[in-house]
């Protein structure tokens, strides 16, 4: 549904909200964008990683732009 709308208005940038769970158990801290991704330790982290891979494939296939946001505290601060 969204893709048809994006195509209609020729959206050139799409956003994907991910999280730090895609890093799995990192070997060293702090984690940054250069930290290699490991196997996620939960189904939630795995689906976020798969979502990122789908967006990456879409970008590579279409030449469109995308922004992946990896939140480290998706629930929020108290």
Active site residues: 44
48: which 2 tokens? 């976020």
Tell me if 41 sits within 8 A of 67, measured CB to CB: no
Instruction: Please answer whether residues 74 and 45 qualify as being in contact, where contact means their C-beta atoms are separated by less than 8 angstroms.
Output: no
Map tokens 């490991």 to a residue.
Answer: 38
């Amino acid at each position: 549904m969204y893709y048809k709308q994006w195509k209609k208005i020729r959206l050139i940038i799409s956003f994907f909200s991910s999280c730090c769970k895609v890093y799995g158990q990192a070997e060293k801290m702090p984690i940054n964008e250069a930290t290699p991704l490991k196997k996620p330790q939960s189904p939630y982290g795995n689906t976020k990683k798969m979502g990122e891979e789908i967006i990456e494939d879409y970008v590579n296939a279409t030449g469109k732009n995308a922004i992946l946001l990896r939140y480290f505290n998706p629930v929020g601060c108290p």
